[in-house]
Structure 1
Amino acid sequence: MSTSQRKIEHLQLCATSPVESRKARAGFEDIMLVHRALPEMGMDDIDISAEFLGRKMVAPFMIASITGGHPDTTPINAALAGAAGELGIGIGVGSQRAAIEDPALEDSFRVVRDEAPDAFVYGNVGAAQIRQYGVEGVEKLIDMIDADAMAIHLNFLQEAIQPEGDKNASDALESIREICSLSTPIIVKETGAGISHEDALLLKKAGVSAIDVGGVGGTTWSGVEVYRARAREDTRSEMLGELFWDFGIPTVPSIVECSDSLPVIATGGVRTGLDIAKSIAMGASLASAALPFVAPAMKGKEEVAESISLMLDELKVAMFLCGCRNIKKMHSAPAIVTGWTREYMELRGFKVKEFAMRSESSDFQVV
């Protein structure tokens, strides 16, 4: 099956089937932000602007990589990009692999830059592919959309489930190190299984500019592959996908695992502005989401913009109630970690109480 056909199948399944984590959660329900009954400011005083990799954004949020690589995805990417440009947030494209295989599909990605000429736009290709494309090939992908950054996605869980998947992860780190020689910032992103502290340190040493944790709690690509396997009566792949449906590190713990190494994007189950606020309090520089905007994008730019605008209003309310005038203050807002997330963090050696005891005089910083 061609990459292009696989991409449209993935998009259709995300739009029509339950593809989120089942038992595992992102961890936001275990985080309580400390309420300030005397915020001592007006909501109009709140500044939600953020800086990331040298670029200023209207809000600490991006539309995560969704699609591209099939003619039918062009209007969807146009709607997403139009909303991102209108709201002053960032946006990523889906894997550009299909455009390498068939240059006729480049427009399905280039439309993002056309519709959002001033937005922070990042490109996207898999770690399994950069061994083949090399630095020169990745440069072509950057030029294709005039990307401000390039994301290398780690989707080895999905690759392991797919019959046509690339199951060779050998030398992935060395390939990433080579790509980091480019002048364009490199983001390494997981696609639903999270990133550990150990891997974050390796990526930092390799020269990566930022990490997108892509944790458990949102879309599970193992789950997406279950539906594909079921449709072609591939029982073995379906069983594998079911077993590993919720495998990995949830988003909130993964933020903590990575945030003392590099700037972090919190992706995986981010569904509200309160989730964005909690992500920032736990150490993320930005948050992003993809699945909530698939259905709105099929209707048009206005629906996408309305969905994101609501999330940003929710973020402002959360910051107001926490007494945080700007994103820098939100980074040091005290947060109570409870439940399974606390247990995970303590077993991994993180000092949970430090999050609860932070104050305006705290020296806590996010990279």
Structure 2
Amino acid sequence: MTTAKRKLDHIRICLDRGVEGGWQPFEDVALVHRALPEIDAAEIDSRCRFLGKELAFPFMITGMTGGHPETKEINVNLALAAQEVGVAMGVGSQRAALENSEVEETFSAVRDAAPTIPIIGNIGAVQLVREGPEVIDRLAEMIEADAVAVHLNFLQESVQPEGETEARGAMAAIRAASDGRVPIIAKETGAGICREDALALLEAGVEVIDVAGMGGTSWSGVEAYRAEERGDGESAVMGRLFWSWGVPTPVSVVECASAGAEVISSGGVRSGIDVAKSIALGARLGGAALPFLRPATEGSSEVVGALRAYERAFRTAMFLTASRDLSALESAPFIVVGRTREILEERGFDSKKLSIYREMSR
């Protein structure tokens, strides 16, 4: 099966099937409500800078698609909306464009539609090993990217019958690429990144990590559906078995931030409240993909509406935590309960002292 055809399968399944797990880890995190915030809502400043460019609030539409002619409109609608609202945007894996230059415009159209926001390219770690570090510049030039994400999707590759599970050499390839002129973002795809891997990535020269943790779209689940459709019972069982495998996003944010990384919190970020929780936990940005896919099939105005809902909820959460700006939100008190708290404590974090870990990472 071609890479382009696989991309269409992924979009169709994400639109038509339930691809998220039952547990939403962000429900275990609560910001402490301030009944007397002593600020006016109009005073709130949610702006930040990312990759040298200003964002209206700390958010990005994370890498989703591209590589097939039918995906161009989706990417353009996402880009137009991101430009209008003032958030960052990532594209899906550009592997298909490396294999077939005719589909490059499904990616390059993003920069045409969004000339001033941060745009992030995308390539898999396996492809980086094969192509060498020079491929990063090629991918960046294709879309005038401000950074390129190297995605680590070995769980998904393990479930795919056509998956590529050659992980040896990935760290060396990332280290070589991090010396280039374009910043590298290490990105998981739904299974999270632990502190041990964050420390290794930082040592290799990576500064930004998109945790893409467990709690949002399960690509193992997506592959289970694909396997069922082609009658591959063994792969379908494997995909369902690993459906909820990984590090929950809030845990991954804490682990990576405590290691000293600049963190993008994605994976189950389903509202502006989750973005605010992410910032309080130690992230620099929040991110999401799936909530914007269906709106992007309808038009850019629908994506704008979805983004505005995130922005309004985020600013409201700032107001109700007495956070006039992002530095105040970074210090806002929060509570962690349930399974997320248990995992954090088993990993060596005292949930009552998480603010200490936040300060140590700055």
Same fold (TM over 0.5): yes
Aligned pairs for 1:15-30 (under 5 A) are 15-22=15-22, 24-25=23-24, 27-30=25-28
Preserved contact between residue 50 and residue 118 of structure 2 (Cα < 8 Å): no
Instruction: Output aligned runs, 1:1-367, within 5 Å.
Output: 1-22=1-22, 24-25=23-24, 27-260=25-258, 261-355=260-354, 364=359, 367=362
Equivalenced residue count is: 361
Q: 1:140 to 1:252 in 2, by over 3 A?
A: same
Q: Residue 73 of structure 2 aligns to which amino acid in structure 1?
A: P
Q: Secondary structure at the match of 1:364?
A: helix
* Aligned partner letter, 1:271: R
Letter in 2 for 1:364: E
Gaps spanning 5+ residues in structure 2: where? Answer: none
Q: In 1, Cα distance between the equivalents of 2:174 and 2:267?
A: 23
Q: Per-residue displacement from partner, 1:146-185 (whole Å, max 9, x unpaired)?
A: 0001100000000000011101111111111011011211
Is 1:96–1:141's contact at 8 Å kept on the other side of the alignment? yes
Deviation, 1:3, is 0.4
Tell me how far apart the structure 2 counterparts of residues 136 and 259 of structure 1 sit (CA, whole Å).
Answer: 29
Relative to structure 1, the CA distance from residue 202 to residue 363 in structure 2 (aligned partners, 3 Å threshold; closer, same or farther) is closer
Task: Extract unaligned runs of 5+ from structure 1.
Answer: none
Shift of 1:363: 8.2
How far residue 243 of structure 1 moved from its aligned partner, in angstroms, is 0.3
3-state SS in 1 of match to 2:133 = helix
Whole-Å Cα distance in 1 between the matches of residues 96 and 124 of structure 2? 11
Amino acid at match of 1:32: A
Following superposition, the deviation at residue 30 of structure 1 comes to 1.0
Task: Please tell me whether the aligned partners of residues 257 and 358 of structure 2 are also in contact (alpha carbons under 8 angstroms).
Answer: no
For 1:297, give the aligned amino acid.
A
Distance 1:36 1:142, change over 3 A: same
Task: Give the structure-1-normalised TM-score.
Answer: 0.96
Does the 8 A contact of 2:276 with 2:317 survive in 1? yes
Output the aligned Cα RMSD. 1.3
Conserved 8 A contact 1:331-1:366: no
Distance 2:9 2:268 in 1: 22
Distance, in Å, in 1 between the alignment partners of 2:74 and 2:266 is 20
Q: Deviations over 1:116-163 (max 9, x none)?
A: 000100000000110111122221111000000110000000000001
TM-score by length of 2: 0.97
Shift of 1:365: 6.6
Letter in 1 for 2:70: D
* Contact 1:285/1:366 (<8 A) preserved: no
